[in-house]
Chain A
Amino acid sequence: MGSVTSSRGAALFGARDAVGAAGVAMAATFLAFGAAVREAGLPPGWALVACWAIYGMPGQLVLVQAASTGFVGGIAPAVMGAIAVNARFLPMAIAISRNRGGGAARLVFGFWPDKLGSGGACRAGWVLRRRHVG
C-alpha cells in the first residue's frame, strides 16, 4: 500500500490510480446505465442523482427496470430489491473504515487524508482499500 506525504501528492496518486482498468470499466458501466435510464424514459438528472446518492450499480439497475415497467408492483418491492442487491454496503463499509477516523467525512468525500500536518502519511483510503474489498 503506497503512501504519499502531501495532499497534492495524494490527489495525483488517486487520479493516476483512477485512470486505469477500474476507470474504464466504470465508464462503460455508467454509459450502459445512462442508456438504460434513457430507454426507461427517466430524465438525465435522475441518473446523475442515482449515481451520486446510491453509487451501487445493481441497485440502480433494479430501480431503472422497475421504472421502465411503470412500477406495476409498487414502489416498495423495487426499493426492497435495490436495497437487497446493495446490502454489501454494510460489510464493505466495515471492512473499509476499520480503525480510521473521520467517518462522516469519508462517507461524503469517499476518502479521508489522515494525519495531515502531523508528519504522518496521507493515503487515498477509499482507492487503496477498494482493491482489498472490491
Chain B
Amino acid sequence: MITRAPRCYSSIRFTTRCCWRLIWISPHRAAPFYAVQRRQDWFSSCHLPWGSWRRESLAALLPFYGGGRVEAADLALALTALACLLLRSAGVWLAGGLGADHPIIAWATAIAQATLAAFVMLAIIAPSGALADVPLAARLCGLGVGVAVCLAFGRNLLPALVVGLVAMLALRALLA
C-alpha cells in the first residue's frame, strides 16, 4: 500500500513502486531505477525555478549571484581588471627593453612615488569616510609623530604606524 503520494506519477519511482505490486520486481532489481530517480531529483531540485535548499546553497556559493545592479558591477569589475592587467603587462613589456639606469626607469619610479605620495596627502588633507570626522590638526599631528618615530627607529614602519595612530586618536580625544 502506498502511504505517501508520489510527487510525479510518471516518475520511475512510482512506476517501479507499482511494478512491485503488479509484476513484482524485487528491490534488488529495482535499485538501479531508484539510483536514476535520486539523480534526477537532485538535478531537478537544483534547476527548478522555485528552487530548493540545494539551489539556494549553490547560489550562495556563486559570487556573482544577484540582480541587475550586481551584474553591472561584475561587468565594471571585469573591464577594470582587464585594463589593470594590460597596464601591468605594458609596463613589464616596456621594461624588458630598457636598462636599469635608463632615464625612463627613473622617470617611471618618480611618477609612481609621486602618485602614491599624492594619494597619501589627499587622504590626510581631504579624506573621506570615517577619517573625515577627525580634525585636521589631529591628522597632521599623527603624521608628524609617525614620521618622527620612523626616523628615530631606523625607518621601522610598524612602531611609527602605531605611535602615529595613537597620537592622532589622543589629540582627537583632547580636541573633542
Which A residues are within 8 Å of any B CB, using their own CB? 20-22, 24-25, 32, 41-46, 48-50, 53-56, 58-59, 63, 66-67, 70-71, 75, 78-79, 82-83, 86-99, 103-104, 106-107, 132-134
Q: Contact check, B98 vs A94: say whether CB atoms are below 8 A apart.
A: yes
Using C-beta atoms within 8 Å of the partner chain, give the interface range for chain B. Answer: 35 or more
**Which partner residue on chain B sits nearest A74 by CB separation?**
B72
Q: Contact check, B95 vs A21: say whether CB atoms are below 8 A apart.
A: no
**Which partner residue on chain A sits nearest B81 by CB separation?**
A53
Where chain A touches its partner, the secondary structure class is helix
A31 to chain B, nearest CB (A): 12
Pick from A49, A56, A71, A132: contact of B84, CB under 8 Å: A56
**Which partner residue on chain A sits nearest B92 by CB separation?**
A103
Binary CB contact string for chain B from 139 to 161 against chain A (1 if under 8 A, 0 otherwise) = 00000000000000000111011
Pick from B70, B90, B113: contact of A93, CB under 8 Å: B90
**Which partner residue on chain A sits nearest B155 by CB separation?**
A131
Q: Contact check, A83 vs B109: say whether CB atoms are below 8 A apart.
A: no
